[in-house]
Structure 1
Amino acid sequence: MEAVIVGKALDGLGGTAAKGKLTDEIVTNRGTFQLSDHALGGRMAERGISTEQVINTINNSDPFRYFHDGTWKTGFYNAETRIFVGKGTSITTVINNVGEKYIQNLKAARPRE
């Protein structure tokens, strides 16, 4: 399946993913994912990560589960590009220059009992 971008980023939207504003979605070979405005307008722009790089990371990596901020999420990591994409109900985290140790720590985290 060819990846496509659906919708258009909404200019001028501040806020964070916690406010629940979703500005765009992407279609990958793993399904359709919504990008939060926090990820799209904030972190991706700040870090110089394109939507195409996010799509490639999702398409070309094995998803893994991790526990963060009291919630189980799904992560995608491309060791070659060192891009990490984190997803709860939407993609909220996009980080570049991520090392293997960071990913190992995410995978090892568990809820406190």
Structure 2
Amino acid sequence: MSKITDFETAVADIPSGATLAIVGVIGWIVPEKLLCSLGQRYLDTGAPGDLTLYVPCFEGDNGAIKGIDNLMHDGMTKRLITGSFINPPDPKTGERPGRWVRSGPTRSRPTVFISAS
């Protein structure tokens, strides 16, 4: 088996309910094509859904780099755990994923859950 593959093949085996750790900083070293392929897979097939994303430093919101926004389709992301959140709510809907959990410098404090409703 080749260790080199295309983005679609790389994301094909990610199951619903998986936890993904994603590294990058705003628009730097963000795996944009991989995230875009994963988001497109969800739009095409409805899978994977209910993902938990562990993102120490939020990726995206930097011009053409969408970053984590590629995975913010309704039903795709269940939980986002991040040390920073730079994106405001969706300007069209005002919605965010259902729960936010603090990490990074604030992780020693009690976990904070904020409902989107």
| TM-score normalised by structure 2 residue count | 0.28
Greater C-alpha radius of gyration: 2
**By percentage of residues, which structure has more strand?**
1
**By percentage of residues, which structure has more helix?**
1
| TM-score normalised by structure 1 residue count | 0.29
